[in-house]
Amino acid sequence: MYRKQVRRRRAILVVLVVACLMLISISISEADSGPLHSIQRGVSTVLSPVAEGASRALKPARDLVDWFNETWKARGENDDLHDQVAKLRAELLATEKAAEQAGYADKLGELMNGTGLTGYTPVDASVIGRSFSLWYGTIKISAGSSDGVSRNDAVITEDGLIGRVSEVTGGTSEVTLITDSSSGAVTARVVGKGPEGLVSGVVGAPGRLDFGLIQGDKEVKDGDRLVTAGFTSDSGLSSRYPADIPIGEVVETIPAEQQQREQVNVEPFADLADLSQVTVLTGGGE
């Protein structure tokens, strides 16, 4: 029974193939006005609306598939763009940091050559912490005793003096800024005039310095520039700060009233509220 069904199916398949070949041969050989072409056109005319309707019915499904394909493609492209942007951002930051460090080194070199800091070894460090007070009185830097840093070493930037080392550990140090009233006074002088005095922070006045004359009778005016005075005695005792390091500029002078002395307000050259790199001058005199 099974074999008869198989033979029957094979016979039907052969008949269909032969019929198809005959129809194809006749269609090719007959003219356009022939019966087969007429039947083909009739069938096409009948089925065309059905095909068009089916196409319209299936259009939302095709659009949905296309939308998913485009969405996944756009998402992949978006991820690639995010990766490229992140890579370019990292490269830009690295370039800016290198340029900043190069510019800092150049300006610092000019400052040290101009002041003649003989006997001092510069140690560069990054600012890794800062006090949370309104005055930003102290900062923490990434250099310590293992780098040769000691207490009371002067700390500068390319703009000038910012303070002194007040505490030291093996790998870090705490720097008290010159605007902190607890940091002690800095012996200073007016550039080109010679009068000397003491520069110190002012309690209750964030970022402000006060300059009090102790030697010289010349008048101090707005715009005068102050640098560290520095000194070395015959016994070998040296100033805490090397000489000729820029400190700041006189921005206001208030005349003395009664027995009070003249008040001279000074703005530091260095932006003490925005410090990222500093240099410690190590190996100086005691």
Query: What are the DSSP calls for the chain, one per residue?
Result: -HHHHHHHHHHHHHHHHHHHHHHHHHHHHS-TTSHHHHHHHHHHHHHHHHHHHHHHHHHHHHHHHHHHHHHHHHHHHHHHHHHHHHHHHHHHHHHHHHHHHHHHHHHHHHHHHHHT-TT-EEEEEEEEEE--STT--EEEES--GGGT--TT-EEEETTEEEEEEEEE-SS-EEEEETTSTTS--EEEEETTT--EEEEEE-TT-TT-EEEEEEE--PPP-TT-EEEE---B-TTS-B-SS-TT-EEEEEEEEE---TTSPPEEEEEESS-TTS--EEEEEES---
- Is the distance from CB of 201 to CB of 180 less than 8 angstroms? yes
First to last CA, the chain: 118
| CATH code of the region 121-282 | 2.40.10.340
Position 79 scores a pLDDT of 76
- Is the distance from CB of 167 to CB of 151 less than 8 angstroms? yes
- Is the distance from CB of 142 to CB of 155 less than 8 angstroms? no
* Rounded CA separation 136/119 (Å): 30
Identify which of 133, 273, 107 has the alpha carbon closest to the alpha carbon of residue 203.
133
* Rounded CA separation 32/262 (Å): 117
Beta bridge partners of residue 122, listed in sequence order:
281
Is this prediction's pTM over 0.85? no
- Distance of CA 248 to CAs 8, 72, 267, Å? 110, 60, 5
C-beta neighbour count of 206 within 10 angstroms: 15
Among all chains, which residue has been given the structure tokens 């505490």? 167
Position 215 scores a pLDDT of 64
Going by C-beta distance under 8 Å and a sequence separation of 6 or more, which residues neighbour residue 232? 238, 239, 285
Among all chains, which residue has been given the structure tokens 């992140």? 86
* Rounded CA separation 79/220 (Å): 63
In a structure prediction context, what are the per-residue pLDDT tens digits for the chain, which is 286 residues long? Answer: 656 666 777 777 777 777 666 666 665 666 556 665 566 665 556 556 655 665 666 667 777 777 777 777 777 777 777 778 777 777 776 666 666 666 677 777 777 666 656 678 889 999 999 886 655 589 999 999 999 999 999 999 988 999 999 999 999 999 999 988 887 788 888 988 778 888 988 876 667 899 987 766 678 888 999 999 876 555 555 567 888 899 999 998 877 665 466 788 999 999 888 888 999 998 865 5
Handedness of CA 173, 177, 180, 186 (dihedral sign): positive
